[in-house]
Amino acid sequence: MKFFVDTADVDAIRELNDLGMVDGVTTNPSLILKSGRDILEVTKEICSFVSGPVSAEVVALKADEMIAEGRKLAEIAPNIAVKVPLTWDGLKTCKVLSDEGHMVNVTLCFSANQALLAAKAGATFISPFIGRLDDINLDGMDLIADIRAIYDNYGFETQILAASIRTANHVAQCALVGADVMTAPPSVIKSLANHVLTDKGLDQFMKDWAKTGQKII
C-alpha cells in the first residue's frame, strides 16, 4: 500500500520523505489555510522534492470554472493530481481533465455508487473518507471493501485512496481490505512505529545493558 501524507507542512513532508515514507502528498483548502502560504507557491515547493502524485484541490463549484482551475494547478508540475469534489460538476471536470492526460483525485466519496461514477469518469484516484463515516456511526472500512469488490469485478484502474485516516488501526485495516493508497497526517504515520511492548522491551534491554557496564563505542 502506498503512503501519501495529508498536509501542506513542507518540513513535515521532507522529514517523512527522507525516510522513504512518502509516495505522494494530498492537500486541501483547510490544509492550505493551516500552512498560511499561497497555494501555488507551497504546492510548487512540495512538487520540487516529492516525485509521486501531489493532490491540489480546485475551489470552484461549477464545471467550467473547475476545469480552468484544474488546468492552472496542473501547470505547477507534471506530478500534480487535480483534486475535485464528488459532485456532478466534479465528475464532468474529472472526465475533461483525465481525457487531457491529467491525474485526477475525486474526493469526498461516501458511497460505492459515487466511487463507481468516479471510475467511469476516468478518475486516477477515488478518496473515500473513513473517519467521517465513523463519525456518523457507519463503518468506513465497509465502504473500502465495497469499492474494492466493485473495481475488481470490472477491472477499473482507479486507485482507492483511503482518506480521513485518524488512527494506526485505520491504516492496518485499509491494508487488509486492499486500499491501494492511504493518506494520513504526519502524526498518524509516525504513530505506526509505536507499540507498548516495544517500549517495554527496549526499557528492559537498556536496564540490563547498564548492568553490564559495557560500551560499544
Identity at 64, one-letter amino acid code: D
Q: Which residue has the cell 492552472?
A: 72
Among the options 44, 72, 83, 92, which is catalytic? 83
Residues 6+ apart with CB under 8 A from 48: 77
Cell of 46: 512540495
190 is catalytic: no
Question: Looking at the DSSP assignment, which residues form a beta bridge with residue 147?
Answer: none
Concatenate the DSSP letters of all residues of 115-181 into one string: HHHHHHTT-SEEEEBHHHHHHTT--HHHHHHHHHHHHHHHT---EEEEBS--SHHHHHHHHHHT-SE
Cell of 194: 509505536
**What is d(CA 68, CA 164) in angstroms, rounded to the nearest whole number?**
27
Question: So which residues are the catalytic ones?
Answer: 83
